[in-house]
């Protein structure tokens, strides 16, 4: 449900068959094509702006794993060659400041842990730079290229007691699937050439959390200090109280650089003394993340005039300009934001500045980097083409596509994607995305499937979506509505979900459905509602409050706010939505009133429930309650779980199974 700043990418004989029939003569997108989609991530442009290192991930059906490699793409002519392959846990390519070396993370066969490796770009050797017993979670080059700062977890706590069979641990803010105390993550520094590492921070605070995702260390421009996000403890539930600290590399002296709670993602300007960081606007977790800057000792929100959520930002080489990424309506865009003055949109044409493809979200965090010459590299999608590597040769240039790893989709007959807007309740102007059935014929009416995004603070956009295209192949009109709490229409819209988590978003979706029906192409007797995570919550809410659905798919559905608050990893994030705990007088009534489980007796739609058995995000007990509530009230229901610890399956075999069941359920009850 929450994504802390996550993919989604039957049987073998079925993989060769289309999901649904179509009158089109061209090939259509089908389940087997999931195996052909290549994902790109973490593009890192060289300091001179001439080459981009990028992670290339290809699913392997036989091993049910993703094959990853690092490719080097020439900016001038798009030529591509492979630098690193056949390494487990491959991630995080990073250039040295002089561009002569490229570092990356990979599993070390000798230690069995993820370590930092360095490759000489002048045809030299590759070596392992770290030897940490717990492995490396994130890292950064020093400005002079002589050292790495890296984040690693401390050794397991109470190891001797556990060895002696005393395994008790204290329960505090951790999720219900924990079986031991979690050790904190701390900061280290090591020579880039290899050698003994030195620990710089110690304490009960942590630079990572039990949900994963250690912070990235950031060196000061003079290389004397390292900044980092500091969490009060190891549990993600308390991560909203993070501050930004820094440590003197020579002395180990530590201080708080940014004391404002919720601060994260600090970046020093490439010139001058300014720094920027992310924080919920005004410190209110129900607002979007703003980009704050500190210049000449004064801290202010550089993005205040836009008053919306920004998923990422980078500095331009002049140290006076930021490039900020975020949702704008049904598009993911980039803004040029000067440190003072009005922001302007970069002209991306039809390109969405995100990776797309997920079940829980249609717009993920934008992956981008900037060279010392001002060239911008990013991963983008279009409505009819999955992710590729793009470059902006300057701020005023149009995007230029450098890769064609998903060229096969250009020959497919895909569903046409359009944006739609409508007037919603409470005076909001709302939007969503429509994907037309393949072979759409004007004047004909089609069954409609709603695919509702998760989050809630994310949004659906007009980029390529696997599930929507599979449904379009099967002959469905697909509607992906944004609703209050989404991040694409500004802080007022995002904040409107506060203490109105079900009823308000439900009315938004129903207003969108009415707008789609007015187009005259919906068979109103055949409408289904589906979603994963918060989309699963919305599915449960809508089926228990509106009797218009002929079928439903609830993936990882949050159905009981009280239980979810008590046992999920994020806990306090739920409390921000309601302004209180569910166990106090202030929250006693509203938490219960907004829980779909209280209305389960009103559901009539045949429902398919899916989820991961060991999900600490939206624990499967939510789905268990929903399943028994539907079954015991005579509703047609089937429930399938995947034996995974994630929030949703990530491997190609199980992802394919999720989509097969999802589309198949709609075909069974709407066709």
* 362-366, 497-501, 516-520: least confident range: 362-366
Q: Which two tokens stand for residue 571?
A: 């806990």
The HSE-up count of residue 293 (CA atoms within 13 Å, CB side) is: 23
C-alpha radius of gyration, the chain, whole number: 24
Q: How is 100-159 classified by DSSP, letter by letter?
A: SEEEEEEE-TTTSSEEEEEEETTS--EEE----TT--SEEEE-TTSSEEEEEEEPPPTTH
Confidence of residue 321 (pLDDT cuts 50, 70, 90): very high
For residue 299, CA distances in Å to 314, 337, 354, 356 come to 17, 16, 29, 33
Band of residue 358 on the pLDDT scale cut at 50, 70, 90: low
Structure tokens at 652: 């190609």
What gap in Å lies between CA 117 and CA 128, rounded to an integer?
4
> Using CA atoms, how far apart are residues 629 and 603, in angstroms rounded to an integer?
9
16-67 pLDDT per residue, tens: 334 443 444 789 999 999 999 999 999 999 999 999 999 999 999 999 999 9
| 307: nearest Cα among 331, 330, 268, 335 | 335
Confidence (pTM)? 0.93
What burial class does residue 291 get, using C-beta atoms within 10 Å of its C-beta: 0-12 exposed, 13-18 middle, 19+ buried? Answer: buried
Measured CA to CA, the distance from residue 235 to residue 182 in angstroms comes to: 8
CB atoms within 10 A of CB 79: 11
For residues 455 and 537, is the Cβ–Cβ distance under 8 A? no
Q: What is the pLDDT of residues 135-176, one digit of tens each?
A: 999 999 999 999 999 999 999 989 899 899 999 989 888 888
SS3 324: strand
Q: Which of 152, 126, 110, 129 has its CA nearest to residue 70?
A: 126
Question: In the 3-class helix/strand/coil scheme, how is 53-74 assigned residue by residue?
Answer: EEEEEEEECCCCEEEEEEEEEE
**Nearest to residue 22, comparing CAs of 386, 443, 408, 413?**
413
Greatest Cα pair distance in the chain: 74
Residue 555 is encoded by which pair of tokens? 């993936």
Mind giving me the DSSP string for 242-282? -EEEEEETTT--EEEEE-STT-EEEEE-SSSS-EEEEEEGG
Beta strands in 453-540 (DSSP E): 477-481, 522-532
Q: Quick check: bond before 456 cis, omega within 30? A: yes
- Residue written as token pair 């699963």: 536
**531-541 pLDDT, tens digit each:** 999 999 999 99
d(C-alpha 365, C-alpha 321), whole Å = 20
CA atoms of 623 and 554, how far apart (whole Å): 8
Question: 89-141, pLDDT tens digit by residue?
Answer: 999 999 999 999 999 999 999 889 999 999 999 887 999 999 999 999 999 99
Contact 637, 606 (CB under 8 A): yes
pLDDT band at 10 (very low <50, low <70, confident <90, very high): very low
- For 414-464, how does the pLDDT look when each residue is reduced to its tens digit (9 = 90+)? 999 999 999 999 999 999 999 999 999 999 999 999 999 999 999 999 999
Angstrom distance (rounded) from CA 279 to CA 660: 39
513-543 b/e with 16+ CB inside 10 Å = b? bebbbeeebbeeebbbbbbbbbbbbbbbbbb
State the alpha helices, DSSP H only, in 528-651. 534-543, 561-567, 572-578, 588-593, 621-632
Helix count and strand count (H, E) for the chain? 10, 36
What was the pLDDT predicted at 6?
34
Cβ contact 269:280 at 8 Å: no
User: Could you report the per-residue pLDDT of 598-634, keeping only the tens digit for each?
Assistant: 999 999 999 999 999 999 999 999 999 999 999 999 9
d(CA 81, CA 250): 40
Q: Are strands 147-153 and 185-191 parallel, antiparallel or unpaired?
A: antiparallel
């Amino acid at each position: 449900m929450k994504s802390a700043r996550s993919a989604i990418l039957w049987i073998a004989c079925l993989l060769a068959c289309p999901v649904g029939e179509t009158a089109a003569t061209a090939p259509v997108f089908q389940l087997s094509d999931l195996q052909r989609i290549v994902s790109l991530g973490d593009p890192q442009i060289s300091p001179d702006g001439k080459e981009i290192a990028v992670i290339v991930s290809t699913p392997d059906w036989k091993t049910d794993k993703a094959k990853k490699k690092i490719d080097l793409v020439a900016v001038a002519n798009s030529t591509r060659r492979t630098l690193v392959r056949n390494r487990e846990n491959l991630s995080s390519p990073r250039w040295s400041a002089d561009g002569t070396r490229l570092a990356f993370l990979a599993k070390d066969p000798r230690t069995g842990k993820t370590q930092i490796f360095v490759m000489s770009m002048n045809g030299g050797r590759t070596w392992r730079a770290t030897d940490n017993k717990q492995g490396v979670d994130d890292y950064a080059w020093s400005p002079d290229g002589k050292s790495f700062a890296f984040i690693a977890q401390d050794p397991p706590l109470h190891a001797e007691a556990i060895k002696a069979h005393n395994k008790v641990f204290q329960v505090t803010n951790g999720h219900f699937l924990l079986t031991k105390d979690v050790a904190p993550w701390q900061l280290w520094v090591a020579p880039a050439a290899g050698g003994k590492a030195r620990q710089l921070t110690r304490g009960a605070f942590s630079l990572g959390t039990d949900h994963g995702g250690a912070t990235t260390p950031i060196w000061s421009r003079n290389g004397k200090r390292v900044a980092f996000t500091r969490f009060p403890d190891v549990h993600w539930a308390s991560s909203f109280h993070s501050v930004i600290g820094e440590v003197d590399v020579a002395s180990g002296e530590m201080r708080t650089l940014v004391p404002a709670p919720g601060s994260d993602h600090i970046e020093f300007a490439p010139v001058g003394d300014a720094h920027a960081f992310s924080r919920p606007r005004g410190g209110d977790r129900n607002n979007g993340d703003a980009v704050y800057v500190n210049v000449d000792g004064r801290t202010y929100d550089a993005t205040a005039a836009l008053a919306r959520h920004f998923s990422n930002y980078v500095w331009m080489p002049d140290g006076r300009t930021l490039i900020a990424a975020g949702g704008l309506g049904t598009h993911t865009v980039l803004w040029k934001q000067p440190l003072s003055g009005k922001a302007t949109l970069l002209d991306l044409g039809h390109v969405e500045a995100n990776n797309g493809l997920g079940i829980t979200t249609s717009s993920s965090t934008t992956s981008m980097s900037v060279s010392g010459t001002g060239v911008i590299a990013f991963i983008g999608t279009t409505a009819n083409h999955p992710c590729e590597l793009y470059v902006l040769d300057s701020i005023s240039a149009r995007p230029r596509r450098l890769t064609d790893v998903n060229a096969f989709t250009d020959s497919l007959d895909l569903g046409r994607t359009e944006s739609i807007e409508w007037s919603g309740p409470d005076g909001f102007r709302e939007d969503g995305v429509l994907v037309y059935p393949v072979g759409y014929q004007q004047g004909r009416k089609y069954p409609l499937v709603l695919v509702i995004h998760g989050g809630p603070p994310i949004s659906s956009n007009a980029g390529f979506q696997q599930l929507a295209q599979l449904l379009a192949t099967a002959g469905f009109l697909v509607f992906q509505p944004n609703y209050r709490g989404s991040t694409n229409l500004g802080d007022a819209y995002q904040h409107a979900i506060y203490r109105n988590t079900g009823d308000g978003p439900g009315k938004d979706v129903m207003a969108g459905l009415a707008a789609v029906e007015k187009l005259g192409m919906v068979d109103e007797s055949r409408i289904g509602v589906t979603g994963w995570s918060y989309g699963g919550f919305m599915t449960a809410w809508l089926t228990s409050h509106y009797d218009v659905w002929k079928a439903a798919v609830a993936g990882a559905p949050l159905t009981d706010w009280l239980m979810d608050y008590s046992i999920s990893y994020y806990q306090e994030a739920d409390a921000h939505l309601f302004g209180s705990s569910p166990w106090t007088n202030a929250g006693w009534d509203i938490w219960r009133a907004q829980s779909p489980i209280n209305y389960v007796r009103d559901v009539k739609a045949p429902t398919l429930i899916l989820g991961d058995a060991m999900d600490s995000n939206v624990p499967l007990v939510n789905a268990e309650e929903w399943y028994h509530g539907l079954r015991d009230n005579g509703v047609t229901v089937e429930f399938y779980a995947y034996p995974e610890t994630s929030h949703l399956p990530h491997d190609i075999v199980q992802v394919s199974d999720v989509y097969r069941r999802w589309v198949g359920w709609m075909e069974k009850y709407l066709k």
